[in-house]
Amino acid sequence: MQQQPKRWEVAPRASASHFAKFPNLPPLVVQVLYNRGIIDPLEAEQFISHHWGQDDPYTLKGMSAAVERLKQALVNQEQIVIYGDYDVDGVTSTVVVMQILQALGARVQPYIPNRFDEGYGLNKHALTELANQGTNLIITVDCGIRSVDEVAYANSLGLQMIITDHHSLADELPPAVAIVNPKQTDCSYPFKELAGVGLAYKLTQALLMSDIPNPQGIVAEDFLDLVALGTIADLVPLYKENRKLAGLGLRKLNDSLRPGLAALLQQSGSKATEITATTIGFVLGPRLNAAGRLDSALVAYKLLMEQNGRKALDLAEQLDSQNKERQKLTQETVEMVREAVLSDTSQSLLYFVHHPEFNPGIVGLAASRITEEFYRPALIAEQGPEVTKGSARSIAEFHITEALDECSDLLVRYGGHAAAAGFTVKNELVETLKTRLQEIALQKLECEELRPTISIDGEVNLRGVRSSLVQSINNLQPFGIGNPTPRFFSRNLRVKYCRAVGQEQRHLKLTLHDGKQDWSAIAFQQGHWIHTLTPAHSIDVVYNLEFNDWHGQRTMQLNVKDLRLGE
């Protein structure tokens, strides 16, 4: 099966009267903002300046109760545990709350469960151990909102719980002393999409606004670098307060780096002159996540806590090594799944591949790769002795969690959203689950033309593009979910030069001519075009406009996302 050609979907152009409202902005920037639903001049100004003023932490339901309980624990020197998660959001959340409580004189320690032995979130064995160690109070970060039974069990052990979690709620809330989650129906906090580390930051803000003694003069802004790291890595929408926090955090990351992050960048060999959302998404985030995917996330936690540069380098080396192993395992898993997919003569509309050798920390990455390559929903799972645990990724036309809802009688547990989910099924029911999911996919997708869509912000005549315009587009960073990197489209660019580059010649380096000037272009993962393109060809191109910084020289560049042979 070959990859489906992508559908190009160009956003409708704003009206002339709309452009007239923004006399001080380039029309292309106005169009990009318009495509993101930003149509008011004041809102546009606030977006560009990263302004968000509605951020009083005490308007979060449960915050006052959480602060009062923490004040009591500090005064009485109770033993506090921060119970986190093994991804970047969970680890940064743990570090933020640990460091603020340490600075305020608390008796506090972290607990991050092991993905392989304990799974996600609260578990009764860990709670028993923590109670036996004399713990009085547990603060969850990035987990706990659905742990009704576990919190009730903790209470029976004499433990009290504060839940801070940004995930969606179930019908019943856990019986905790305080729950801080803006998704609570009666929570008046205006922004509902904070990451786990965003809520950890709000707790930090609230603590420091209270009358708790602060002998070290610590301020909440000290943790913005970690907030940006966790927020961007967790793929929450980068608008409103998340945009403000990410922007401020990126500024702090570029002003001064924690020893652990400096060591991780050094170990990665990154030559980036500026830390951006891309640096977090492709350099820092994967290496920090690798620890929890292959072993214990405590290595990532220790790296972010470490103040000694030499020790930080040792930890960074360990994480970099784990990331290389993660990449290798992912590639091996993808190849095994691809082989199964290509041997499927029934042309299934949904792929379900399970194997005892699959690593549970890798299956989600493999499912993402397969879904991206073949544009089909994909479920990849590790088959254990008794149960099969896996991850699902889906396409825009198929809500994977709703499909799992129709199979709830077959599942031990599951959860997720439209595009991604996790699930556990007893081994004897795997084939039944696979068959039912494929039947659901057939019902919902049989009449669909399944092709990935590239959303394009507008058509551009490159002859009029100057570096000042590229800089104005760059000012809309950080890019991510909710504020994707702007994509543009140009017709009939003549190929002057092209060659395959990179490992296994996977990428394509191009020089394109717009009729007036030459443009340097790079097309990642599109080296196959080298067998088709010649200098005689004209092509239509979808691309990001960006700067390429090389040996102190800054030039404009097209980062090609797709191309077609011109007419």
Check residue 279 and give its pLDDT. Answer: 93
Q: Are 257 and 313 in contact (CB under 8 A)?
A: no
Alpha-carbon dihedral sign for residues 306, 271, 234, 43 = positive
Residue 515, helix vs strand vs coil: coil
Q: Please give the angle made by the CA atoms of 238, 244 and 248, to the nearest 5 degrees.
A: 115
**What is the chain's pLDDT, residue by residue, as a tens digit (567 residues)?**
445 688 999 999 999 999 999 999 999 999 999 999 999 999 999 999 999 988 999 999 999 999 999 999 999 999 999 999 989 999 999 999 999 999 999 999 999 988 777 777 889 999 999 999 999 999 999 999 988 999 999 999 999 999 999 988 878 999 999 999 999 999 999 999 999 999 999 999 999 999 999 999 999 999 999 999 999 998 889 999 999 999 999 999 999 899 999 999 999 988 767 899 999 999 999 999 988 888 888 999 999 999 999 999 999 999 999 999 999 999 999 999 999 999 988 778 999 999 999 998 899 999 999 999 899 999 999 999 999 999 999 998 999 989 999 999 999 888 777 888 889 999 999 999 999 999 999 999 987 778 888 999 999 999 999 999 999 999 999 999 889 999 999 999 999 999 999 888 889 999 999 999 999 999 998 898 998 888 878 999 999 999 988 777 889 999 999 999 876
**How much is the CA Rg of the chain, to the nearest whole Å?**
25
Model pTM score: 0.89
Amino acid sitting at position 88: V
Phi, psi of 480 (to 5 degrees): 170, -155
Tell me the Ramachandran region of residue 118: left when phi exceeds 0, alpha when psi lies from -120 to 50, beta otherwise.
alpha
Architecture of domain 7-49+454-565: Beta Barrel (2.40)
Alpha-carbon dihedral sign for residues 349, 355, 357, 358 = positive
Amino acid sitting at position 378: A
Amino acid sitting at position 354: H
The kind and range of the H/E element at 544 are strand 538-550
The structure tokens 């020089």 sit at: 511
Check residue 567 and give its pLDDT. Answer: 63
CA 388 to CA 432: how far, in whole Å?
A: 13
Phi, psi of 470 (to 5 degrees): -60, -40
Hey, how many other C-beta atoms are within 10 angstroms of the C-beta on 491? Answer: 16
Phi, psi of 472 (to 5 degrees): -65, -35
Could you tell me how many residues make up the chain?
Answer: 567
Hey, how many other C-beta atoms are within 10 angstroms of the C-beta on 558? Answer: 24
Q: Are 543 and 510 in contact (CB under 8 A)?
A: no
Closest CA to 139 of 230, 205, 69: 69
Query: Which positions ≥6 away from 180 have C-beta within 8 Å?
Result: 60, 61, 62, 63, 66, 162, 163, 164, 165, 199, 202, 203
Check residue 411 and give its pLDDT. Answer: 92
- Verify cis geometry, omega within 30 degrees of 0, for the bond prior to 452: no
CA 351 to CA 459: how far, in whole Å?
A: 36
For 35, the token pair is 């495509």
Check residue 524 and give its pLDDT. Answer: 93
β-strand pairing of 411-416 with 420-426: antiparallel
Strand ranges (DSSP E) for 160-231? Answer: 160-164, 178-180
Phi, psi of 459 (to 5 degrees): -85, 140
Strand ranges (DSSP E) for 400-446? Answer: 411-416, 420-426
Q: Are 359 and 367 in contact (CB under 8 A)?
A: no
Q: Looking at the DSSP assignment, which residues form a beta bridge with residue 455?
A: 9
Per domain, the residue ranges of the chain are 7-49+454-565, 57-227, 344-445
The structure tokens 């809802």 sit at: 405
Q: Tell me, what DSSP letter sits at residue 282?
A: I
- Number of helices and strands in the chain (H, E): 19, 18
Q: Looking at the DSSP assignment, which residues form a beta bridge with residue 10?
A: 456
The structure tokens 């996540």 sit at: 289
Q: 57-227 — its CATH code?
A: 3.90.1640.30
CA 531 to CA 74: how far, in whole Å?
A: 68
CA-CA-CA-CA torsion for 540, 546, 551, 552, nearest 10 degrees?
A: 140
CA 138 to CA 507: how far, in whole Å?
A: 49
Q: 344-445 — its CATH code?
A: 3.10.310.30
